[in-house]
Amino acid sequence: MTKEEHIKYWLESAQHDLESAESIFDSGRYDWWLFIGHLALEKILKAIFVEKNDNNVPPKVHNLVRLAELSRIELGENQKFFLDQITDFNIQIRYPDYKLEFYKRCSTEYTKEYLTKIKEFYAWFSSLLK
């Protein structure tokens, strides 16, 4: 695959995840919305990584702050804090020890707060692509 094809793959996958998350939100499965929201941000960061680096294959990393750094995106402390919280959603949904506690925390209000922030980051990351 060419560099452009790799970027397109990651962008289409990120957009698909964001759209899927919308239907998940409507079902009330807020924990899964947050997990899929993380995936959408991870994938758009991987598109940026491919665009800005010689390597067409992004690292197998789920940490959003690390991916942003590898993609040469400068983040403020508040942005790093937020992306760290979103990265935690990736862990908390996957492991039974954390899953029930995470599920209980995911109220409508809690999820809407992160939904807004995830969409804002998604739009910002999208704007960084050529």
Report the number of distinct structural domains present in the chain. 1
Please tell me the pTM assigned to this model. 0.93
How many other C-beta atoms are found inside a 10 Å radius of the C-beta of residue 18?
19
Q: List, for residues 53-63, the tens digit of each pLDDT value.
A: 998 899 999 99
CATH at residue 53: 1.20.120.330
Q: Which residues contact 118 (CB under 8 A, 6 or more apart)?
A: 37, 38, 40, 41, 86
User: Under a CB-based contact definition with an 8 Å cutoff, are residues 43 and 10 in contact?
Assistant: yes
User: Under a CB-based contact definition with an 8 Å cutoff, are residues 46 and 68 in contact?
Assistant: no
Q: Which domain holds residue 13?
A: 3-127
Q: List, for residues 41-92, the tens digit of each pLDDT value.
A: 999 999 999 999 998 899 999 999 999 999 999 999 999 999 999 999 887 6
